[in-house]
């Protein structure tokens, strides 16, 4: 959320807040500008929604979805800059930054790369040791966080297709983003109730997650969230922040 900048509008954040318990707020490097970021923080606080920093590679033109090869010291400085900005703005409004979730290509890189994950962890801890890391359930990110004793929230996705290896299907592939609320609902119920998803190859993939992501820039985000709200009620599933 908070990914709009200047005259470019991304998503429709205000309509999503009533349905969510946590939000990942852009930090300016893939989307977001100071005004949109601050307004998003205010909206999150008004709705009692937990706030997370959503740092990325410095790739505004590519919306943070292009892999970048950066030296560790440079990447860590870039991440600290973004996390510190979000933390400072949140605290200036009387709120608290609870966690960090990498964005886009950085998230996917960390899911299979221990060095990338450690760079993110070190950047977080040099800002605030109490920050929680959020990442892909069952990934290298989760394993490294557990190894170095960093609090971790394993995440799964309502609106992304999975590969047989448990990774997210590349956005360059057709069908990688789920727009059909019924399909998203079925995937989330499978994750919550059965701890698995069906991959693009038709195989079962184990998924043990504590948080479900819906992308704010998905045009179907509101419809998906409304479908999930009904499904949770029917299945006696309680939503709560971690």
* Each residue's pLDDT tens digit, 50-71: 999 999 999 999 999 999 999 9
Most distant pair of Cα atoms in the chain: their distance: 49
Q: Given CATH 3.20.20.370, say whether it is the number of domain 13-234.
A: yes
Distance of alpha carbon 101 from alpha carbon 38, whole angstroms: 18
For residues 133-153, average pLDDT: 98
Positive or negative torsion for Cα 63, 219, 214, 173: negative
Whether residue 37 is predicted with pLDDT greater than 90 in this model: the reply is: yes
pLDDT at 237 over 90: yes
Q: What is the pLDDT of residues 14-29, one digit of tens each?
A: 999 999 999 999 999 9
Cα gap 40→89, rounded to integer Å: 11
- Band of pLDDT at residue 242, cut at 50, 70 and 90: confident
- Cβ-in-10-Å burial (0-12, 13-18, 19+) of 25 comes to buried
At 76-120, the pLDDT tens digits run 999 999 999 999 999 999 999 999 999 999 999 999 999 999 999
Compute, in degrees rounded to 10, the torsion defined by CA atoms 53, 104, 22, 200: -160
Residue 194 in this model has a pLDDT that exceeds 90: yes
Percent of the chain predicted with pLDDT > 90: 97
pLDDT of residue 75 exceeding 90, the answer is yes
Nearest Cα neighbor of 22 from 240, 221, 216, 209 is 240
Q: In what order do the strands lie in the sheet with 50-54?
A: 22-26, 50-54, 97-100, 132-136, 152-157, 211-213
Q: Check: pTM over 0.75? Answer yes or no.
A: yes
Q: Check pLDDT > 90 for residue 186.
A: yes
* pLDDT score at 216: 92
């Amino acid at each position: 959320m908070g990914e709009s900048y200047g005259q470019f509008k991304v998503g429709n954040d205000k309509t999503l807040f009533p349905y969510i318990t946590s939000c990942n707020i852009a930090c300016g490097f893939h989307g977001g500008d100071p005004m949109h970021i601050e307004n998003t923080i205010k909206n999150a606080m008004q709705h009692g929604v937990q706030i997370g920093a959503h740092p990325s590679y410095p790739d505004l033109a590519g919306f943070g979805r292009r892999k970048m090869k950066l030296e560790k010291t440079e990447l860590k400085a870039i991440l600290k800059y973004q996390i510190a900005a979000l933390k400072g703005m949140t605290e200036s409004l009387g709120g608290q930054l609870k966690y960090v979730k990498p964005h886009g290509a950085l998230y996917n890189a960390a899911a299979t790369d221990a060095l990338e994950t450690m760079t993110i962890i070190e950047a977080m801890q040099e800002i605030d040791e109490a920050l929680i890391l959020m990442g892909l359930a069952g990934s290298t990110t989760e394993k490294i966080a557990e190894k170095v004793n960093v609090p971790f929230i394993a995440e799964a996705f309502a609106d992304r297709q999975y590969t047989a290896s448990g990774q997210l299907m590349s956005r360059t592939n057709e069908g990688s983003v789920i727009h059909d609320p019924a399909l998203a609902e079925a995937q989330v119920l499978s994750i919550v109730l059965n701890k698995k998803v069906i991959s693009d190859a038709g195989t079962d993939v184990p998924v043990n997650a504590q948080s479900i992501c819906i992308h704010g820039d998905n045009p179907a985000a509101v419809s998906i969230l409304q479908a999930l709200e009904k499904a949770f009620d029917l299945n006696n599933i309680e939503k709560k922040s971690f």
